[in-house]
Amino acid sequence: MLKFNKIFLGLTISFAFIAGYGGLSSSLILTEARVLNTFNFFINHREYILDRQNRFKETQYDVRKILRNSIPANVRDLGYFGFSPYPIVYGNFNFKALPVFTSFAASTPYLSEINSRAYWKLPDYLLVNYVTIDDRYIYQDDPFQQVYIAQNFEFLKNTDYGTLLIRRKTPLNLEKLSVDEGEAKCKSICTIPLDENKSMLIKFRFGEARFSGLFIHPYWTMVVTYADLTEHAYKFSPTSARIGLLVNVLSSSTMYPAFLRAGDKKISAIQLECRPLISCPRDFSYRMERLIWK
Amino acid sequence: MKYLVKNKISWLFYLLFWILILRVPSELPIYTHDSSSEALLEYFFENNYLGGRDFVQNVGPLGFLSYPDIFNKSIFWPKLLLLTFITSSIALVFLNFKRDFLDGYYAYLFLFFCVILTNWDSLLYLYFFVLGLYIFFSIYSNKEPDFKTLLLSLLSVFILALAKSFYFYLGLGYLVLTLLSNTSLRNKILLCTITTLLLFQGLKVLNFTIKDFFSLLNAQVYFTEMYVSNLNTFPLGLNSYIGLVLIVGITLQILRLINKTMGIRSVVIALYLLFVSLVCYQHSTIRADVHITALLDLCIGSSLIFLGYKRKNNAKI
């Protein structure tokens, strides 16, 4: 057993190096900095705290200064859709948050539903920032909230921290035109058929996985081909795909900016790739809803 | 006199170790996703938004304790005091564990490793792991665990339970282990009563109902679904595979603890340790960044412990 422990220790340390852990030297440097910081605090804690408070105020001042130029002075309550809500915290606004307050985190049907029950809490002003983590596809982040935003908010102005939206006097009427259901049996690459000139919400139901997803998670990539034949590979989350995936095939849209950013290109094809095969589902079905604005 | 000097030295060693693992806020507020999320948890607490009730995250009503940095001045002292309490309990448990059950240079390597851990989560997972082993080794060596250590560790674990819901499950597991330990029945009743009363009192102070708490646990269960398996920490997308190797390795180490002399108690403790490892695995593979270090750290720490374990009376562990 001693031998096993020694081998396992060596193996783990090698993995740590491969992972770019930084090794002993960087750990020591970080530890030294942490310990010096602790001593600094104990020796002169008043100055230490004052210094931190001043720096926090400086940061807050910078954000507020930038936001003051772009957000009307009467706005106190601000909602947020996006990846990093720091402007609200540092900008000293009243953050009216949905329960799952970062867009990428509402990544299961349950969490998306929790948010949908609280849409009424959103204030009249909303800051949206279409950036997400881990190179995911932004329209996979809480798509129902994005649809709600597009229906109920309109463009006010662009700021350094995203687009400021204001609540519409009358919400846009959104109609689900038709529902197509399809099924795909694919080994590793699946192509999703796209309909011209429609924005779509696609939901996926994944079949039985070959191997339990608990230990070896399947690695999904979504390759989007644009009309100009350029391609971009995004990380694809199968759990959030059960909520839906917004695909806007329009090259320009009346839904701008809450739905489609300026400069977004027309999408001509979507392919999903899954690997390793051992943990990919045998088949999956999809359901496409076409969303039409009235 | 000799006793007093020895005692003073051990207290000095304790103080030094505690200072070395203490996290005094060092991060400055910067515009990044992580720091803003951390700052937001403090903002929520200040504005009476509680995790599990008003917002759904993998954190509880004391969610801001999940991160050692402090951004908001109004929360500075309470947070620092809670962190001080948690780190002093960790220091006490680790040093008592080392004194009673570890020997040789691996024991010092283990303490040194705990000091250089840069990831706060790694330290906490290792803490939960050591707590399980502390109970195991004390039963195995027929020793009565120190009551003060048990009480302090339980209190710190239940403070952590209010910070992250996974820690709540681990805390419940640890409570079961303390009931299995060699301590007297009177001590067991005392431990249960004190911790339960303080937990309920804490929830009451936070204006957090039991129903809210269960909704928090429910949300956490769903949160475990949130994985993206973006595998860029290791080259060629090997995060999950490396994670699998590590979890198999640590499982083999844990299974070795099951033995006939301790009977069902060894099985329960092994299950607890496996649970700690699985939670750590889930934490490590949920994102492809510094998260993976939690499992690597747990495996390095556990190997050092098993290598440094005092082998007496033909112990086979």
Between β-strands A153-159 and A174-184, what pairing exists: parallel, antiparallel or unpaired? unpaired
Q: When comparing pLDDT for B214 and A119, which is higher?
A: A119
> Hey, is the C-beta of A15 within 8 angstroms of any chain B C-beta?
yes
Q: When comparing pLDDT for B53 and B126, which is higher?
A: B126
| Adjacent-strand bridge partners of A219 | A275
User: Which among A19, A21, A41 is the nearest to B24, CB-wise?
Assistant: A41
Which CB contacts under 8 angstroms, 24+ apart, belong to B178-185?
B178/B135, B178/B150, B178/B154, B180/B135, B180/B139, B180/B265, B180/B268, B180/B269, B181/B135, B181/B138, B181/B139, B181/B145, B181/B150, B182/B138, B182/B139, B182/B142, B182/B143, B182/B144, B182/B145, B183/B144, B183/B145, B183/B147, B183/B150, B184/B144
Question: What is the interface pTM, i.e. ipTM, of the complex?
Answer: 0.80
- Contacting residues of A for B229, CB less than 8 Å apart: 217-220
Which residues have CB under 8 Å from B106's CB, separation 6+? B304, B307, B308
Q: Is the pLDDT of residue A14 over 50?
A: yes
CB contact under 8 A, A15 and B296: yes
Max avg pLDDT among A135-139, A259-263, B30-34? A135-139
* Res. B317 pLDDT band, cuts 50 70 90: low
E strands along chain B, which residues? none
Q: Best of B36, B41, B119, B275 to disrupt the A interface by mutation (most A CBs within 10 Å)?
A: B36
CB contact under 8 A, A5 and B29: no
CB contact under 8 A, A34 and B23: yes
- Contacting residues of A for B225, CB less than 8 Å apart: 107-108, 239
Q: How far apart are CA A131 and CA A133, in angstroms?
A: 7
- Stretch (H or E) spanning B246: helix B239-255
Q: How far apart are CA B249 and CA A8, in angstroms?
A: 7
Q: Is the pLDDT of residue B214 over 80?
A: no
> Hey, is the C-beta of A61 within 8 angstroms of any chain B C-beta?
no
CB contact under 8 A, A19 and B76: no
Q: Best of B225, B239, B250, B311 to disrupt the A interface by mutation (most A CBs within 10 Å)?
A: B225
Q: How far B224 CA sits from the closest chain A CA (Å)?
A: 10
User: In which residue are the tokens 């999408």 written?
Assistant: A267
pLDDT, tens only, A64-84: 777 777 788 888 899 999 888
Q: How far B193 CA sits from the closest chain A CA (Å)?
A: 34
CB contact under 8 A, A89 and B222: no
Q: How far apart are CA B174 and CA B194, in angstroms?
A: 15
AA letter at B126: L
Return the HEC string of chain A. CHHHHHHHHHHHHHHHHHCCCCHHHHHHHHHHHHHHHHHHHHHCHHHHHHHHHHHHHHHHHHHHHHHHHHCCCCCCEEEEECCCCHHHHHCCCEECCCCCCCHHHCCCHHHHHHHHCCHHHCCCEEEECCCCCCCECHHHCCHHHHHHHHHHEEEEEEECCEEEEEECCCCCCEEEEEEEEEEECCCCEEEECCCCCCEEEEEEEECCECCCCCCCCCEEEEEEEECCCCEEEEECCHHHHCCCEEEECCCCCCCCCCCCCCCCCCEEEEEEEEECHHHCECCEEEEEEEEEEC
Tokens encoding B81 = 């005091």
pLDDT, tens only, B182-196: 889 999 999 988 888
AA letter at A17: F
How high is the pLDDT of residue A144?
87
Q: How far apart are CA B69 and CA B23, in angstroms?
A: 8
From B236, B242, B240, select the one nearest B287 (Cα to Cα).
B240
For A166-194, letters b (16+ CB in 10 Å) and e give eeeeeeeeeeeeeeeeeebebeeebebeb
Determine how many CB atoms are found less than 10 A away from the CB of residue B9: 10
Lowest mean pLDDT among A89-93, A177-181, A266-270, B300-304: A177-181
Q: When comparing pLDDT for A29 and A214, which is higher?
A: A29
Query: What whole-number percentage of chain B has pLDDT above 90?
Result: 34
Q: When comparing pLDDT for A55 and B136, which is higher?
A: B136
How high is the pLDDT of residue A42?
87
Average pLDDT, chain A: 77
Compute CA A176 distance to the chain's CA centroid, rounded to the nearest angstrom. 24
Tokens encoding B71 = 């951004």
How high is the pLDDT of residue B273?
96
How high is the pLDDT of residue B235?
47
Distances in Å between the alpha carbon of A62 and those of A52, A88, A161, B69?
A: 15, 13, 12, 21
How high is the pLDDT of residue B223?
55
How high is the pLDDT of residue B86?
95
φ and ψ at residue B152, rounded to 5 degrees: -60, -40
* Percent helix, percent strand, percent coil in chain B, to nearest 5: 70, 0, 25
> Hey, is the C-beta of A73 within 8 angstroms of any chain B C-beta?
no
pLDDT, tens only, B37-78: 888 888 888 888 877 778 887 777 888 888 877 777 778 888
| Adjacent-strand bridge partners of A165 | A126, A155
Q: Is the pLDDT of residue B31 over 70?
A: no
Average pLDDT, chain B: 82
pLDDT, tens only, B234-289: 544 566 677 788 889 999 999 988 888 888 999 999 999 999 998 888 787 766 56
pLDDT, tens only, A142-180: 888 888 888 888 888 888 888 888 999 988 777 776 667
Q: How far apart are CA B316 and CA B306, in angstroms?
A: 11
From A109, A108, A103, select the one nearest A127 (Cα to Cα).
A103
DSSP B29: P
Q: How far A234 CA sits from the closest chain B CA (Å)?
A: 10
Q: Is the pLDDT of residue A252 over 60?
A: no
Q: How far B68 CA sits from the closest chain A CA (Å)?
A: 11
Compute CA B57 distance to the chain's CA centroid, rounded to the nearest angstrom. 19
Sheet containing A189-192: order of strands? A189-192, A267-275, A219-226, A231-235
The count of CB pairs under 8 A between chains A and B is 185
* Res. B16 pLDDT band, cuts 50 70 90: very high
- Contacting residues of B for A41, CB less than 8 Å apart: 24
- Contacting residues of B for A114, CB less than 8 Å apart: 56, 219
pLDDT, tens only, A104-148: 888 778 888 889 999 988 999 998 887 787 777 888 888 888 888
Q: How far B20 CA sits from the closest chain A CA (Å)?
A: 6
Residues 198-237 of A with CB under 8 A from B: 215-220, 235, 237
CB contact under 8 A, B300 and A12: yes
How high is the pLDDT of residue B110?
95
